Structure 1
Amino acid sequence: MADRGWGEMAVDIQPACLGLYCGRTVEIINGTEIHGNCGVCPRGQRTDDQKICRQCEGSPERYDWLYLGFMAMLPLILHWFFIEWYSGKKSSSAVFQHATALIECSVAAVVTLLVSSPLGSLQIRSCKVKMLSDWYTMLYNPSPDYVTTIHCTHEAVYPLYTIVFIYYAFCLVLMMLLRPLLVKKIACGLGKSDRFKSIYAALYFFPILTVLQAVGGGLLYYAFPYIILVLSLVTLAVYMSASEVDTFKDLLVRKKRLIVLFSHWLLHAYGIVSISKLNYQDLPLLALVPAPALFYLLTAKYTEPTRILAEGANGH
């Protein structure tokens, strides 16, 4: 009993770990927790309030899933944009390439969930995000004597940071396996130099997305609902202006315009749902989804450049 008391006292008088994210690892020996030295927590663990490394056993919150959904949508949206950009009216193969991109990203998302802990399940274990600094633990390594740095960098937001990189890797591999064969067979309306331009574009934007996640993952986590709303509003206005859509009749002329409109409405709804975090009392805000498009169509005739110039000339 005395020995046990001295053992417990030895644990209690251990100096506190320095820094925000340094912790003591735990080993269970004969039913007793034995705490190690202060240092970095193993992958899949983070420090608790007592600076002890604890296993991540929680599940992602709804907002976390919405963030992962946003990061999963980015490659798909960019795929669709560049497929449409380089296909244009020259080829009828764009729809097949769109479908292939959707399959690639969907399969990559499922495989990423399956290989994450717990293996073979579509559910994942995670640690709770408490503050912005949780995403940037490498900036909080303590230096007690201002000379020696104690490295305690670990994934405090496990697995929200690294799972995005894994997903992008699977997207890239699946694209390289599937898309070239498809494009070579069905993109007959395009020249040889144009057939693979959407694939070349992906080889550029995947590294950009990777760097974006590595540097700005924490900022994106808190800001992505507002980024969705702003970008969807801007891109919708640019598209309708470039397509010379000024009336409701102009929308009905081509099915493609309706598809683009509904796609932007889905993005509007996703942004609103992300801001409200699926709180049911805020869901009536979804009624505002068509408002930007309706406002544009109702006011487009008053902002027509030729009309403004004509009125200015008449005024003089």
Structure 2
Amino acid sequence: MAVAIQQACFGLYCGRTVAIVNGTEHPGDCGVCPRGQRTDDHKICRPCEGSPERYDWLYLGFMAMLPLILHWFFIEWYSGKKSSSALFQHLTALIECSVAAIVTLLVSDPMGLLQIRSCKVKMLSDWYTMLYNPSPDYVTTIHCTHEAVYPLYTIVFIYYAFCLVLMMLLRPLLVKKIACGLGKSDRFKSIYAALYFFPILTLLQAVGGGLLYYAFPYIILVLSLVTLAVYMSASEVETFKDLLVRKKRLIVLFSHWVLHAYGIVSISKLNYRDLPLLALVPGPALFYLLTAKYTEPSRILSEGANGH
């Protein structure tokens, strides 16, 4: 298909929309590309017709897991040992986030299918096109801000919105009926917590979406290691026997292993040559259990006292 040659547009993300007349593309004026399009190498706005790469899906999975993990944390935090409703709340949070993810995919282009079309992420600046509006004469700014990483940036906001709506529709009814072990003032604290962390997650995606895209595998690895060590220390787990005393501890341990494996898979981008690294997942927990008795604060203090 022939293209009428024109002067290239200024800036990284300004492009020309095209009109096809008699098999020839006639580019228009330089400006912002419509939603669902980004510029090609010739500064022509082209529709996003590709599919997300495996790394893109892993990133979306990470952003989808964040609300669920926070839901589970605050449900467990505020349920305490008195309430037997924590399990039902955990399941409800899982259902909320799962349904929100499915609905988000269904309403995304192409609508009605559990798939999305997207543009390829080429560099970090693709996430922050608003910072690259050119000023050819240093006076007039040409505004070319658009979603160059369509739809990886906005789809997260849509997902969070559905999560919030489903939570407000389902969770209060469930908590009111089954959270009998909690006082009236404590029943809805996990919901109140969500009303705080959803705006925080939204702001995090708005400001740091591009940084999270490149850093999330390492964030998962570090947080899974730190939180596992903190949990095992707070629960006074020092031996394998301590783990087997309560099923909850094993569930927490396996959950951290899943997160750790997710981080390794994300770093390797599902490269099958790197999958043997998954054998290292239990390593940090085993190292902690084997060395915990040597780092017991009371033992260190007593040995220091005996040394003097």
Structure-2-length-normalised TM-score: 0.99
1:16 and 2:14 matched: no
- Shift of residue 31 of structure 1? 2.3
- Shift of residue 29 of structure 1? 2.3
Pick closer, same or farther for the CA change 1:146–1:10 going to 2, 3 Å.
Answer: farther
Pick closer, same or farther for the CA change 1:137–1:250 going to 2, 3 Å.
Answer: same
1:205 and 2:197 matched: yes
- Shift of residue 232 of structure 1? 0.3
Inter-partner Cα distance in structure 1 for 2:254 and 2:10 = 52
Pick closer, same or farther for the CA change 1:218–1:102 going to 2, 3 Å.
Answer: same
The root-mean-square deviation of aligned C-alpha atoms, in Å, is: 1.3
SS of residue matched to 1:240: helix
- Shift of residue 215 of structure 1? 0.2
- Shift of residue 12 of structure 1? 5.0
SS of residue matched to 2:180: coil
Q: Percent identity?
A: 93
1:120 and 2:116 matched: no
1:269-284 equivalences under 5 Å are: 269-284=261-276
- Shift of residue 37 of structure 1? 0.3
SS of residue matched to 2:46: strand
- Shift of residue 14 of structure 1? 2.1
Note the alpha carbon deviations across 1:155-176, whole angstroms, 9 max, x for none: 0000000000000000000000
Inter-partner Cα distance in structure 2 for 1:89 and 1:147 = 64
- Shift of residue 145 of structure 1? 1.1
Inter-partner Cα distance in structure 2 for 1:90 and 1:152 = 56
Inter-partner Cα distance in structure 1 for 2:204 and 2:18 = 34
Inter-partner Cα distance in structure 1 for 2:294 and 2:265 = 32
- Shift of residue 10 of structure 1? 12
- Shift of residue 71 of structure 1? 0.1
Note the alpha carbon deviations across 1:173-222, whole angstroms, 9 max, x for none: 00000000000000011000000000000000000000000000000000
SS of residue matched to 2:20: strand
1:1-316 equivalences under 5 Å are: 14-316=6-308
Note the alpha carbon deviations across 1:34-66, whole angstroms, 9 max, x for none: 111000000000000000000000000000000
Pick closer, same or farther for the CA change 1:280–1:11 going to 2, 3 Å.
Answer: closer
Inter-partner Cα distance in structure 2 for 1:13 and 1:229 = 49
- Shift of residue 30 of structure 1? 2.8
Inter-partner Cα distance in structure 1 for 2:125 and 2:56 = 16
Note the alpha carbon deviations across 1:217-271, whole angstroms, 9 max, x for none: 0000000000000000000000000000000000000000000000000000000
Pick closer, same or farther for the CA change 1:302–1:10 going to 2, 3 Å.
Answer: closer
Pick closer, same or farther for the CA change 1:39–1:50 going to 2, 3 Å.
Answer: same
Q: Which moved more, 1:280-289 or 1:28-37?
A: 28-37
- Shift of residue 27 of structure 1? 1.5
Pick closer, same or farther for the CA change 1:258–1:24 going to 2, 3 Å.
Answer: same
SS of residue matched to 2:251: helix
Q: Identify the residue that residue 6 of structure 1 maps to in structure 2.
A: none
SS of residue matched to 1:300: helix
- Shift of residue 13 of structure 1? 5.0
Note the alpha carbon deviations across 1:90-124, whole angstroms, 9 max, x for none: 20000000000000000000000000000000010
Inter-partner Cα distance in structure 1 for 2:280 and 2:5 = 59
- Shift of residue 11 of structure 1? 6.5
How many residue pairs get aligned? The number is 308
Inter-partner Cα distance in structure 1 for 2:59 and 2:51 = 14
Note the alpha carbon deviations across 1:109-158, whole angstroms, 9 max, x for none: 00000000000000100000000000000000000111110000000000
- Shift of residue 88 of structure 1? 1.3
Unaligned runs of 5+ in 2: none
SS of residue matched to 1:171: helix
Inter-partner Cα distance in structure 2 for 1:55 and 1:248 = 56
Inter-partner Cα distance in structure 1 for 2:2 and 2:273 = 52
Inter-partner Cα distance in structure 1 for 2:111 and 2:257 = 35
Unaligned runs of 5+ in 1: 1-8
